[in-house]
Amino acid sequence: MVKLSGEVIGNDNAEKIQILPATIARVDRNCPEYHDNYEDENTFYAGAGSNTSGGSSGSPVIARSGNCIALNAGGAHEAASAFFLPLDRAVYVLDWLKGNPNQIPLPPRGTLLARWLFQPFDMLRRLGFTPEQEADVLKLSEDAAMNDRQKGYGFGECRYKLLEAVTEGFEHEAPYLAVWLHGGDWGSISKQDLQTMQWRMGRRTIWMVPKSPKSPRTSNGWEFQWGCCHKKEDNQKARVDQGFIWGHLHSGFLTAFAESIRGLSARFQADRVLAFGYSMGGFGAYQVASWAPEVFDAIVSLAGYGLGTEDPQHERFRAPQPQSGRIFRDFVGRYVTRMAKVPVVLAVHAWCDSLSSYHDDCTIIWAIKKQARDEGFTKHFADMITLPDSLANTDLPYSSSGHDYYYASLLRNSSERILWSKLRSALWAAPKRLSWSCRAPPESPRGSKRPGQTPPLWGQQKWARYRRWY
């Protein structure tokens, strides 16, 4: 919100209908002291040099997008400074009054008989604030920037970030909640990549970007591939990674993870909930979707795989057969078939991929299709998208593994034909997730599906390049 330009529209010292420019300079200004009965406390104001004067109190501050972002509340006598009240407090009071029409109009403030103030560290040091305390506060702030974490019995800490990508003018559109699950390199996805994916989806998107849980410091030495936990030595059998073969699904983590996603979808009133994952992330998407299919509208697994494999023993992972095949078939029968309840499931895989099995992924999609047909989910959509071999090794640095098509399948122009056009069309036609009926739907947003309406062509959607990030 800092540097956001807008206009204060209203009266100004008895002059009616004035428009004063305003650029938000700060959003953490302590409550101004008016020296009368209209003092406010325990909220924080936005500050701008708009030079408003008497008679303009309550005037809306309008951003260039046309949205009201604050209310003018006061100004300095001997400076151009103006103080704007953010709308979250006003919206809270209005919602309370609308929800409690027969009660005394006194919304609970939630105070502790204390007055809170922002103070810079320099001022606190004069009051005895130690460097150790400052370091602890900064660490808490860093953790808060991750937005949240989950931790439970038998699995370590799992942090996640929340990021918003939105096209200007669509800030109040009902969002998609999209979960991005990283691969086995544990790498962080860039904001630019998330922006590109949001732009291709064509919807305001809240991104949840978690990290696979770390192993708790216990004697059992569990390691995690998202919800699949295994012993450290399982990843060293035959000198190749076999944790995905000998591991098992951790019920505690998957339950907590699904509940976190469910809570965020309710918090943001998400129109759709999607999970994306590449390689190990695709495996994780299959795990959480099969554990709680009612939470999701769509699953997109890229270069994903399952628990166990039917690949021959002489191939890359030297999976012992027939044990590994039995594990995979049990995973498909017990868990994968539950994903038939997810409206949209898409898998993107290269036939020549030597690090994750194309044939196993085909089996997973085929099982979902068959189960959806048997259970009567005629409007649900599952599809196996085979990536051309010419695009299977296009990520840098180049390799011959057939497993390097992250950019080709998600970000470059080729991804429009491979994935995004299919995903948008499938979401347009698919029914809502099963848990949607358990809560009140939001108001119909711009761009939402209406009876008799056909989806617009991608070329007809004029999406601006400006996006806002929290």
pLDDT in tens for each of the 470 residues of the chain? 566 778 888 877 767 778 888 888 887 777 777 766 666 777 778 888 877 877 778 888 888 767 788 888 887 777 778 888 888 778 878 888 887 877 776 777 766 677 777 777 888 888 888 888 887 776 665 444 444 555 555 676 788 889 988 887 788 888 999 999 999 877 789 888 999 999 999 999 999 999 988 765 444 567 888 988 877 665 555 445 777 887 888 888 898 899 899 989 988 889 999 999 999 999 999 999 999 999 999 999 999 999 999 988 777 677 888 899 999 999 999 999 999 999 999 999 999 998 899 999 999 999 999 999 999 999 999 999 999 999 999 988 788 888 999 999 999 999 999 999 999 999 999 998 875 544 433 443 434 444 444 443 433 333 333 333 33
Structure-token pair, residue 64:
């260039």
Compute and round to an integer the Cα radius of gyration of the chain: 26
At 297 the pLDDT is 96
For 343, counting Cβ atoms within 10 Å of its Cβ (0-12 exposed, 13-18 middle, 19+ buried), the class is buried
Report the sign of the C-alpha dihedral through residues 233, 235, 238, 240, in that order: negative
164: which strand partners? 206
pTM value?
0.64
Structure tokens at 458: 């991608």
Six-digit token string for 360: 């196993």
Cα–Cα distance, 12 to 3 (Å, whole number): 23
